[in-house]
């Protein structure tokens, strides 16, 4: 079966974000079909059968998650769409919200019908002002045309969508952090269980799904679970947005079937490594994923294949590094990020991310010691699996894989007075004193 | 006593927001956004106004505001340049970009020019990694930047300011 793009085919048209355009290209037919032909329970089973898996990072089966929400409950139920998109290297949800907001709204209608939800929130990161305005305008159009509100598409089903802006905090992408932030608090994650499906927003059962996950639903309605499952690998099928950045000729968002080969993605779609240079390393799934060295990059970009290769698909943020990249400096950048973004609740994370940054910093700036490499391992051991959320793990993974796979470079920096890149940029800062 | 007060339009928006959430506290972030838009920044008096309006303690509002990095805090320059310095941007020259801006404006990262016109800071990934290097200038993204672009944008800001336009 030839691959049909569902997210990006119309992006060339400047009006693709409008309701008129969306309806002209078959928009809202999936939601109509769901409301007309599908009993909610059967619809959940259909989504389970499609094997759609979450696109936010963890890859959890969407239908299964919906099935966890209690059927008999006196409480209201909520949908919270995760549009926080802050994983370094990731920018696909922004494209979907800016250019295809009605596809997301249609997906929300289908999800809410299946789970029996009448109130949905889209939690969008504060920096995405343009996407926020597009979403608000699209919702207004939808209310105006009776697509949202008291009688969704003329059916006896009411649904409200509220677009809610975040305010700059990576941790609000973690689902419980996001819900806490939505409730108007500091966005600190909470221990699970209880999982949001049982006790989430305002203490009520809540479905949390990523923007891209939800945007798949109209298509599943159109071609059915059977058709959907045929796209890409059976265990994690579907069309997929890959975000490619760093040292390639043509960085961008690429829509391809799940399971595209990573080298093919880089070489055939993105014009190869820039400036005719050679590939050194790739982070395949946002900065929380283990880095792959060039000889590990002949791998299929799907959940199982990348897990088997010792990394993860994560958010599909593919960060490409050429052979002139200093891996010590690159890791320092990543460690700074996690230290800055740790919410500080858990000691192993708050202190561990700080230590990792400090140790990598001193290696880069020319006063590292060989023992520091073991020290990094020890710090990582004390972080992984020991905290409220997995941000600590996400910081430890790159620390561990960069220092394992590019050990020679770290040793070279330790033995030769620091990172060549730092020496070039800050000759005055090398060697003397700690500059953290 | 400060005489801060939402405009009629702002108040209407706030009241509408109250109908969108089952719990009042959830309106805090959106209410702070209204305050930010109407008062230009969030300092202690602005936070206190929102706290009083919503009937929650000022300390709590302060605690929430300071958790986040994207609110426009008191003392921020008219033009706030936020340079993305996370990995994908760093791989394509964000450091050179930041250095150039700092030199042009004669300030360090995290500072504001004496005339209060520009603030510049380094921020984490803005979700625009494919257009690196880039920065956010107030609400807008400026992408695929060269050092010449930076000079032009800074000049444009100065012209805009001379014409009396602020944001
Ligand atoms: C530190 C951290 C940051 C996260 N950031 C995001 C994010 O920005 N967007 C997102 O959709 N999921 C993010 N997630 C994953 C969410 O917790 C959650 O798994 C996801 O939103 C569920 O939706 P899905 O099943 O559709 O993928 C993050 C997780 C962690 C631990
Ligand atoms: S692991 Fe880190 S980010 Fe997550 S809750 Fe604990 S301190 Fe906060
Ligand atoms: S790293 Fe700069 S926008 Fe993502």
Judge whether A113 and A43 are in contact, CB under 8 Å: yes
Rounded CA-CA distance A100/A8 in Å is: 9
Rounded mean pLDDT, A83-112: 98
Q: Does domain B79-162 have CATH number 3.30.470.30?
A: no
Of residues A86, A253, A333, nearest to B87 (C-beta)? A333
Contact flag A319-B87 (C-beta cutoff 8 Å): yes
Ligand 3 cavity residues, CB under 6 Å = A 88; B 84, 86-89, 125-129, 132, 134
**C-alpha torsion A401→A403→A404→A407, nearest 10:** 150
- For residue A424, is pLDDT > 90? no
Percent pLDDT > 90 in chain A is: 96
Could you report the per-residue pLDDT of A101-124, keeping only the tens digit for each?
999 999 999 999 999 999 999 999
Of residues A128, A287, A330, nearest to B127 (C-beta)? A128
Banded model confidence at residue A426, pLDDT cuts 50, 70, 90: confident
Higher pLDDT, B126 or A2: B126
Contacts of B123 in chain A (CB under 8 A): 168
Percent pLDDT > 70 in chain B is: 97
Contacts of B64 in chain A (CB under 8 A): 184-186
Chain A closest-CA separation from residue B141 CA (Å): 9
Judge whether A180 and A196 are in contact, CB under 8 Å: no
A372 interfaces chain B, CB cutoff of 8 Å: no
Give the pLDDT confidence score for residue A301 in this predicted structure. 98
Rounded mean pLDDT, A35-58: 98
pTM score: 0.97
Rounded mean pLDDT, A193-201: 98
Rounded CA-CA distance A390/A95 in Å is: 26
User: Which of B63, B129, B133 has the highest number of chain A CBs within 10 A, making it the mutation to test binding with A?
Assistant: B129
Distances (CA, A) of A272 to A279, A296, A311, A436: 9, 16, 22, 36
Chain B closest-CA separation from residue A188 CA (Å): 9
Rounded CA-CA distance B102/B81 in Å is: 10
B8-67 and B79-162 share one fold? no
Rounded CA-CA distance A320/A257 in Å is: 20
Give the pLDDT confidence score for residue A434 in this predicted structure. 47
Banded model confidence at residue A428, pLDDT cuts 50, 70, 90: confident
Give the pLDDT confidence score for residue B115 in this predicted structure. 96
Could you report the per-residue pLDDT of A129-144, keeping only the tens digit for each?
999 999 999 999 999 9
Ligand nearest to the CA of A85: 1
Contact flag B131-A94 (C-beta cutoff 8 Å): no
Instruction: Give B100-167 as a 3 state SS string.
Output: HHHHHHCCCCCEECCCCCEEEEEECCCCCHHHCCCEEECCEEECCCCHHHHHHHHHHHHHHHHCCCCC
- For residue A211, is pLDDT > 50? yes
Q: What number does CATH give the domain A239-322?
A: 3.10.20.600
A170 interfaces chain B, CB cutoff of 8 Å: yes
What sign does the dihedral A299-A300-A305-A311 (CA atoms) show? positive
Percent pLDDT > 70 in chain A is: 98
Give the pLDDT confidence score for residue A433 in this predicted structure. 47
Give the pLDDT confidence score for residue A356 in this predicted structure. 98
Chain B closest-CA separation from residue A310 CA (Å): 21
> From edge to edge, which strands make up the β-sheet containing A292-293?
A252-257, A239-246, A317-322, A279-283, A292-293
- For residue A66, is pLDDT > 60? yes
Contact flag A425-B95 (C-beta cutoff 8 Å): yes
List chain B domain ranges.
8-67, 79-162
A237 interfaces chain B, CB cutoff of 8 Å: no
Local structure of A323: helix, strand or coil: coil
Rounded CA-CA distance B107/B110 in Å is: 8
Give the pLDDT confidence score for residue B166 in this predicted structure. 54
Banded model confidence at residue A435, pLDDT cuts 50, 70, 90: very low
Give the pLDDT confidence score for residue B32 in this predicted structure. 98
Which residue in chain A is spatially nearest to B36 when comparing CA positions?
A167
What is the distance in A from the centroid of ligand 3 to the CA of A84?
A: 14
Rounded CA-CA distance A179/B71 in Å is: 19
Q: What number does CATH give the domain A19-229?
A: 3.40.50.11540
Chain B closest-CA separation from residue A211 CA (Å): 14
Could you report the per-residue pLDDT of A167-182, keeping only the tens digit for each?
999 999 999 999 999 9
Of residues B25, B27, B87, nearest to A89 (C-beta)? B87
A270 interfaces chain B, CB cutoff of 8 Å: no
Give the pLDDT confidence score for residue A429 in this predicted structure. 75
Give the pLDDT confidence score for residue B167 in this predicted structure. 47
Q: What number does CATH give the domain B8-67?
A: 1.10.10.1590
Contacts of B125 in chain A (CB under 8 A): 86-90, 337
Ligand 1 cavity residues, CB under 6 Å = A 54-58, 60, 82, 84-87, 171, 173-175, 208-210, 213, 389-391, 394
What fold is seen in the domain A327-425? de novo design (two linked rop proteins) (1.20.1440)
- For residue A127, is pLDDT > 70? yes
Weakest-pLDDT range from A310-319, A413-422, B85-94:
A413-422
Could you report the per-residue pLDDT of A227-282, keeping only the tens digit for each?
999 999 999 999 999 999 999 999 999 999 999 999 999 999 999 999 999 999 99
Contact flag A245-B130 (C-beta cutoff 8 Å): yes
Has the ipTM of the complex gone over 0.90? yes
Give the pLDDT confidence score for residue A1 in this predicted structure. 57
List chain A domain ranges.
19-229, 239-322, 327-425
B111-112/B118-123 β-pairing: antiparallel
A82 interfaces chain B, CB cutoff of 8 Å: no
A187 interfaces chain B, CB cutoff of 8 Å: yes
Could you report the per-residue pLDDT of B44-86, keeping only the tens digit for each?
999 999 999 999 999 999 999 999 999 999 999 999 999 999 9
Sequential DSSP letters for A104-127 = HHHHHHHHHHHHT--EEEEEE-TT
Could you report the per-residue pLDDT of B79-110, keeping only the tens digit for each?
999 999 999 999 999 999 999 999 999 999 99
Atom of ligand 1 nearest to the CA of A175: 17
Ligand nearest to the CA of A388: 2
Of residues B25, B29, B126, nearest to A127 (C-beta)? B126
Rounded mean pLDDT, A355-384: 97
What is the distance in A from the centroid of ligand 3 to the CA of B129?
A: 4
Rounded CA-CA distance A92/A359 in Å is: 33
Residue A266 is classified by DSSP as: I
Contact flag B129-A287 (C-beta cutoff 8 Å): no
Instruction: Give A37-93 as a 3 state SS string.
Output: HCCHHHHHHHHHHHCCECCCCCCCEHHHHHHCCCCCCCCCCEEEEEECCCCCCCCHH
Average pLDDT, chain A: 96
Could you report the per-residue pLDDT of A7-22, keeping only the tens digit for each?
999 999 999 999 999 9
């Amino acid at each position: 079966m030839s691959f049909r793009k569902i997210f990006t085919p119309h992006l060339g048209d400047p009006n693709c974000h409008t309701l008129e355009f969306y309806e002209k290209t078959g928009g809202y037919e999936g939601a109509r079909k769901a409301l007309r032909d599908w009993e909610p329970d059967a619809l959940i089973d259909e989504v389970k059968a499609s094997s759609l898996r979450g696109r936010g990072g963890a890859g959890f089966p969407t239908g299964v998650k919906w099935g966890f929400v209690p059927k008999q409950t006196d409480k209201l139920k909520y949908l919270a769409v995760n549009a926080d998109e802050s994983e370094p290297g990731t920018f696909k949800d922004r494209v979907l919200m800016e250019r295809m907001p009605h596809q997301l709204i249609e997906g929300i209608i289908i999800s809410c019908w299946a789970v029996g939800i009448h109130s949905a929130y889209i939690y969008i990161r504060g920096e995405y002002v343009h996407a926020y305005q597009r979403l608000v305008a699209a919702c207004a159009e939808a209310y105006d045309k009776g697509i949202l509100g008291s009688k969704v598409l003329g059916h006896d089903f009411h649904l409200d969508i509220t677009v809610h802006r975040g305010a700059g905090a990576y941790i609000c992408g973690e689902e419980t952090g996001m819900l806490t932030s939505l409730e108007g608090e500091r966005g600190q994650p909470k221990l699970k269980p209880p999982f949001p499906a049982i006790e989430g927003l305002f203490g009520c059962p809540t479905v949390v799904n990523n923007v891209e996950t939800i945007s798949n639903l109209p298509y599943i309605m159109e071609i059915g679970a059977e058709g959907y499952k045929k796209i890409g690998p059976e265990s994690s099928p579907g069309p997929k947005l890959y975000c490619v950045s760093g040292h390639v000729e043509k960085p961008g968002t690429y829509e391809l079937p799940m399971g595209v080969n990573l080298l093919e993605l880089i070489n055939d779609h993105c014009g190869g490594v820039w400036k005719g240079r050679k590939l050194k390393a790739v982070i395949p799934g946002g900065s929380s994923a283990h880095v792959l060295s060039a000889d590990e990059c002949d791998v299929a970009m799907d959940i199982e294949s990348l897990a088997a290769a010792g990394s993860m698909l994560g958010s599909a943020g593919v960060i490409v590094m050429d052979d002139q990249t200093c891996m010590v400096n690159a890791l320092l950048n990543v460690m700074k990020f996690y230290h800055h973004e740790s919410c500080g609740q858990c000691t192993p994370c708050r202190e561990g991310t700080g230590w990792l940054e400090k140790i990598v910093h001193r290696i880069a700036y020319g006063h590292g010691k060989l023992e520091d490499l073991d020290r990094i391992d020890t710090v990582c051991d004390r972080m992984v699996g020991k905290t409220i959320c997995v941000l600590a793990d996400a910081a430890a993974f790159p620390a561990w894989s960069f220092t394992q796979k590019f050990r020679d470079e770290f040793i070279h920096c330790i033995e030769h007075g620091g990172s060549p890149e730092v020496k070039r940029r800050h000759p005055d800062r090398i060697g003397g004193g700690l500059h953290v | 006593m400060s005489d801060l007060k939402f405009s009629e339009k702002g108040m209407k928006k706030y009241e509408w927001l109250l109908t969108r959430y089952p719990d009042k506290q959830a309106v805090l972030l959106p209410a702070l956004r209204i305050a930010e838009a109407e008062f230009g920044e969030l300092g202690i008096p602005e936070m206190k106004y929102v706290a009083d309006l919503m009937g929650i303690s000022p300390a709590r509002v302060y605690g929430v505001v300071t958790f986040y990095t994207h609110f426009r805090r008191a003392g921020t320059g008219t033009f706030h340049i936020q340079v993305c310095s996370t990995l994908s941007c760093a791989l394509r020259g964000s450091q050179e970009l930041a250095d150039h801006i700092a030199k042009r404006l004669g300030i360090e990262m995290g500072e504001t020019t004496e005339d209060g016109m520009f603030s510049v800071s380094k921020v984490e990934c803005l979700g625009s990694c494919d257009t690196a290097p880039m920065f956010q200038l107030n609400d807008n993204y400026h992408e695929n930047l060269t050092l010449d672009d930076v000079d032009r944008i800074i000049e444009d800001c100065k012209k805009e300011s001379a014409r009396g336009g602020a944001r």
